[in-house]
Amino acid sequence: MRILLLGGTSEARALAAQLHPDIDVISSLAGRVPDPALPVGQVRIGGFGGADGLRDWLRGAGVDAVVDATHPFAATITSTAATVCRDLGVPHLVLVRPAWPPGDAIVVQSDQQAADAVAEHEFSRVFLTTGRTGTAIFKDSGAWFLIRAVTAPDPQDLPRRHQILLSRGPYRYDAELGLLREHHIDALVTKNSGGAMTRPKLDAAAALGVAVVMVDRPPLPPDVDTVATVEDAASWLSGRSR
């Protein structure tokens, strides 16, 4: 059995490790992060060239199934994969980690709405954790930003007042608590990524009474099979390899 595993997440790496070497797994990474954490097995890096490119690649590679374990906000590839697999009749599964309960967070639907919320509530010191592409919308903000990302944002996309912190999770609660205190943060801006790796920032914010602005997830394509755990994804594949 040969599968295409759309990855880049800890769940994708865990699934590749669990399946290897019994199932022929080709993990695909978008290539946006230099020096990414690589899964075991065969890896391809870079886009497919849209729906037509993915369709041609699947036909040429002889793939039996596609598992989408990309980030919950990777809406474009998730939608493209769903459409192409449906057209080709290729079994397709989305492995999506459970979302965080929003609690008392200010829930918004986009980066623009997050920027609007920061301005409306007059937050002055913001911990921004929406990724390197999420900074541009805050360029004209009057707030100060602690920007955490795996790779540095483009300089032209940075707010006037900021500090960049380059790091990769998982993060610990005590360290997150210290970070918020050290920088006198009054608002955390985050995407609802879910998972345990970056959850401690929410727990630390709650402990300190720091406001949270949370960008809600884009909806999944209609009528796709979904599971929430690596184990369930492995079982789904096992049922198709018999």
* Sign of the C-alpha dihedral computed for residues 39, 43, 47 and 49 taken in this order: negative
Digit-coded pLDDT (tens) for 53-103: 999 999 999 999 999 999 999 999 999 999 999 999 999 999 999 999 999
Residue appearing with tokens 């959850």: 199
Which CATH superfamily does the domain covering 106-215 fall into? NAD(P)-binding Rossmann-like Domain (3.40.50.720)
Residue type, 28: S
DSSP for residue 197: S
Residue 35 confidence (pLDDT): 76
Residue appearing with tokens 């630390």: 204
- Domain positions in the chain: 2-97+218-240, 106-215
Mean pLDDT of 179-184: 98
Judge whether 2-97+218-240 and 106-215 match in fold. yes
Residue 242 confidence (pLDDT): 58
CATH code of the domain occupying 2-97+218-240: 3.40.50.720
Both ends of the chain: CA-CA distance in Å? 9
